[in-house]
Structure 1
Amino acid sequence: MSPAVRSSPGSSALRFGRFAAMGTVAALILIAGVWASWGTAQHAMLTKGRERGTVAVTRCGAKTCTGPYTPLSQGSQPRAEVVLENSVAVEKGRTYTVVLKPGGTDAVRAGPAGVLYAWVPLGGALLLASVVVAGGLLRTRAAWVLALSGTALLTAAFLAV
């Protein structure tokens, strides 16, 4: 008869504490990724009832690019200037399909490229959470799923923009 392997109550409590703490950290990372993405993604994804059009980028500063807005949706009015976030995905002299944020002149890229680009923070959060899940929770399969999902999202966004 082999001796039974028993864990002391202290080690079970430590294991549960580590699981709870690392699970909370991983969940908070993912929630932060969704939160950071949703501010832009909601406008790019839920375009019904929003002003849609194109922006011909004429000027780019350190953080923003501007240009005249030409409406594509009914009820939308042309504007002399709207503001797009300056990123790798926006270049001076190009025209982009955009959705205007309500009550202002801020615009968000529309279409598949805009949607994928809006979810880039979630892609980074998925990669970071995969490290926490693998190292802190010792769940390698779940960590691989998170890491591959984040990599796929970031790769798709890179290729789309």
Structure 2
Amino acid sequence: MRLLLSSIVVLSLATPALAQQRHNSEAPIDFGADHIELQDKANRAILTGNVSVKQAEMTLTSARMTVAYTGQVVDGSPQVSRLDAAGSVVVTRPDQTARSQYAIYDLNQRTILMMGDVTLTQGGNVTHSQRLTLNLAEAQPHATLSGGRVTGTFSVPKRN
């Protein structure tokens, strides 16, 4: 899936307290949903209705989510490799919220790709795009907004 990028904006997602802290993508993933359908032969579960997953300090909510797992079971739990979310997707982390129509959380790559009417809010800054990549692997996580025209509002500090 390739998009021609006419504009790219990279924003730091780290607050001073989190500047040296990576997202713990090995933390357990707690989930809740109105309904679950297990498809063991396909190594996936389909969550629907008010879906919410929480991992460390990050929460991802959506209307529907497909949870793909490797087939390996460790300590009685399947090993999740990917989450595909659709419908009013919201990712919240300390001091930032990202919204879109679709998202793919690749746990192996430690990235979240959000697509479709993306809005990223961090403090007083608000940015809009069609695509957002959250890179959770770096000591100072960052977001890359791309796809078409990127627009937004940056807050300006008060001066005396």
TM-score, with structure 2 as normaliser: 0.26
Look at both structures and tell me which one has the larger radius of gyration over its CA atoms.
1
Which structure: greater helix fraction? 1
TM-score, with structure 1 as normaliser: 0.26
Which structure: greater strand fraction? 2
